[in-house]
C-alpha cells in the first residue's frame, strides 16, 4: 500500500470526523516522520507491513473520537510543540488570546509570574518563550501533567521557568508575584459540551468545576490578593458566558482596571484586573 492509497483509505474511515483528510495526514506524518509536503510529493512511496498495522490502530482510535493530540503525543501552542498524553488537558487555541494580551499589557523586562493549573506547561512556556528575563512558576496538582511540563521545558531548553506540585495557592506560603495567570476548570458538570467526542477523553478534573463552573475561578480570584505584589495583575480565562460574573468578582475582591477580552470566536474569554492593597 502506498502513502496515497493509505490516505484515501483513512479518509473514508474517518468520514464522520470534522477534518478527516487533515487527521489522516497528521497521523501518517507522525508515524513516517515526514512533513505534509513530503507526503504529498512522494505519495507513491510504499508502506511497510508493521507501519500499516500501527497506522490502522491509530485510525481506529481516532474513529472512536480520541483526540489527534493524544494519538500523535503533541499539540502546537504559540508555535511551540508541546508533549501531551491521555489524561492531560489539551491546549486550546483560544488560550493564546490570554498569552497575547499579557504581552500587550506588560511590556516590562523583569517579572515574577505564577501560572496556576499549568497542565503540560502551556501558558508558562508560551510566556517563557518570549520573555527570557521573566521568572515563571507553574503549579499543578496532576502529577502526569507536571511530568510532561518538565519534559516540555527540557525539550525547549527554557531556563526561566520551573514547575512545582501544588493545589492552587496551598503550598505557596508568603510568596508574591507581579502577575498571576490561569486557565482553570470552568465548565458546569451538566454542560452539554462535555459530550463532544474529543472532550469525552479529557480528564474531567481539568474541565469541570463546582458551583456551575465558578468554584475554582472564585477561589483563585479571592486568594490571589494574598499573593500579588502592589500593582500586580490577575489574568483569568473563563467560560464564554461568565464575563459578567468575573467582572463582578474582580470588583468584589478589590481589583481595579477590570476588563474582559474576547477570543477568536468573539466570545468573552479572559478577564483581568490590577491589584492595589488597601
Give the annotated binding-site residues for substrate: 183-186
Cα separation, 79 vs 9, whole angstroms: 30
- DSSP conformational letter for 26: H
Where is the binding site for S-adenosyl-L-methionine, in residues?
Answer: 117-121, 140, 168, 183
Burial class (CB in 10 A: 0-12, 13-18, 19+), 160: middle
* Backbone phi, psi, residue 178, to 5°: -80, -25
Q: Which residues pair with 123 in a beta bridge?
A: none
Which H or E run contains 234?
strand 228-237
Pairing of strands 80-83, 161-165: unpaired
The binding site comprises 117-121, 140, 168, 183-186
Cα separation, 185 vs 211, whole angstroms: 11
CB-CB contact of 138 with 160 (8 Å):
no
Residue 208 has phi, psi (to 5 degrees) of: -100, 140
Of 151, 41, 13, 220, nearest to 27 (Cα)?
Answer: 13
Alpha-carbon distance of 132 to 134, in angstroms, equals 6
Gap between the Cα atoms of 198 and 65, Å rounded: 6
Amino acid at each position: 500500500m502506498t502513502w496515497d492509497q493509505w490516505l484515501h483509505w483513512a479518509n473514508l474511515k474517518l468520514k464522520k470526523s470534522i477534518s478527516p483528510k487533515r487527521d489522516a495526514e497528521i497521523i501518517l506524518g507522525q508515524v513516517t516522520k515526514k512533513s505534509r509536503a513530503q507526503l504529498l510529493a512522494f505519495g507513491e512511496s510504499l508502506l511497510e507491513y508493521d507501519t500499516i498495522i500501527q497506522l490502522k490502530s491509530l485510525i481506529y482510535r481516532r474513529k472512536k473520537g480520541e483526540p489527534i493530540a493524544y494519538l500523535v503525543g503533541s499539540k502546537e501552542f504559540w508555535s511551540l510543540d508541546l508533549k501531551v498524553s491521555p489524561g492531560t488537558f489539551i491546549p486550546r487555541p483560544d488560550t493564546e488570546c490570554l498569552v497575547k494580551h499579557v504581552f500587550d499589557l506588560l511590556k516590562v523586562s523583569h517579572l515574577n509570574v505564577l501560572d496556576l493549573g499549568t497542565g503540560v506547561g502551556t501558558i508558562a512556556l508560551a510566556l517563557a518563550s518570549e520573555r527570557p528575563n521573566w521568572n515563571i512558576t507553574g503549579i499543578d496538582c496532576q502529577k502526569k501533567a507536571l511530568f510532561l511540563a518538565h519534559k516540555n521545558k527540557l525539550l525547549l531548553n527554557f531556563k526561566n521557568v520551573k514547575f512545582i506540585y501544588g493545589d492552587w495557592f496551598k503550598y505557596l506560603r508568603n510568596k508574591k508575584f507581579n502577575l498571576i495567570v490561569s486557565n482553570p476548570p470552568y465548565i458546569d458538570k451538566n454542560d452539554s459540551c462535555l459530550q463532544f467526542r474529543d472532550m469525552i477523553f479529557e480528564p474531567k478534573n481539568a474541565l469541570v468545576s463546582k458551583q456551575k463552573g465558578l468554584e475554582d475561578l472564585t477561589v483563585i480570584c479571592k486568594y490571589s490578593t494574598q499573593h500579588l505584589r502592589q500593582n500586580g495583575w490577575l489574568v483569568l480565562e473563563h467560560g464564554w458566558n461568565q464575563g459578567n460574573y468575573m467582572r463582578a468578582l474582580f470588583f468584589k475582591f478589590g481589583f481595579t482596571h477590570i476588563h474582559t477580552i474576547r477570543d477568536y470566536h468573539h466570545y468573552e474569554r479572559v478577564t483581568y484586573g490590577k491589584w492595589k492593597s488597601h
